[in-house]
Amino acid sequence: MTPENIANTIEGFRLDGQLAVVTGASRGLGEGCAVALAGAGADVALIGRSQHDLDAVARKIIDLDRTAHVLVGDVTETTALSQALGELPPFQIFVNNAGTNHPQPFLEVDEDTFDMVMDLNLRAAFFAAQAAARLMAAHKTGGSIINMSSQAGHRALQDRSVYSASKFAIEGLTKAMAFELADQNIRVNSVAPTFVETPMTKAGLAQKDFRDYVEGKIKLPRLGQIGDVAAAVLFLASPAASMITGTSLLVDGGWTVD
């Protein structure tokens, strides 16, 4: 790909002939990423816990003339997830998106909350990425693994100590994976969004004081949208990012610049 190609075509962002896997794909960021990847030409395997929601996303992918694979399951069940991934055709893109948050002041966090957030955001993400990388290496396809992080993996956020700890860990994991997997031609990066309007953030952003706080911290004059994050994932998955690994792409509207 030459600078002329980038300037004159969208060839560098096409994913034709590739299979992408997206965890947490039933709604929100996962759904948005899955549809964006399909729009760029990829077939998509959707992983989530709701058959009904996954089927709805699958219909959107089919409407784009792409193939959708629906895998219903819980990513915290790591052995079952590994087996399910192994039953797919070889894939070249893995979006490690499933995650959760439970805002709570640091002094009030109990072990159950800590374990719940860390089990999904770190433990499950670690072993999902490992299973994906093992298959990419075995199939000698190379590929792109994209870990969904957060600006909370770069900056402290009020009442989000456990969430922030999990995302700082994801940032470290991303760099370690990139270091170890480069010789397999597997690129590993993270996407770190600010607050984006999704089903998970809807309740918080409906509170005027919190929404005003968020809008005051984001330097650009709007909240993040699902499409902003999906575009970043699409870029990192694409040939246009073929020399990028071990980095974190902040999609934060300038929150972290000061």
Active site residue 167: yes
Helix (H, G, I), strand (E, B) or coil at 108: helix
User: What is the C-alpha to C-alpha distance for residues 187 and 146, in angstroms, rounded to an integer?
Assistant: 8
* The Cα angle at residue 174 between residues 173 and 180, in degrees rounded to 5: 85
Q: Which of 140, 167, 202, 208 is catalytic?
A: 167
Active site residue 163: yes
Q: Which of 60, 163, 202, 208 is catalytic?
A: 163
Furthest-apart CA atoms within the chain: distance in Å: 56
Check: CB of residue 44 under 8 Å from CB of residue 97: no
Q: What is the DSSP string of 165-224?
A: HHHHHHHHHHHHHHHHHGGGTEEEEEEEE--B-STTTHHHHTSHHHHHHHHHH-SSSS-B
Taken in order 168, 176, 136, 226, the sign of the CA dihedral is positive
Which residues participate in catalysis according to the annotation? 163, 167
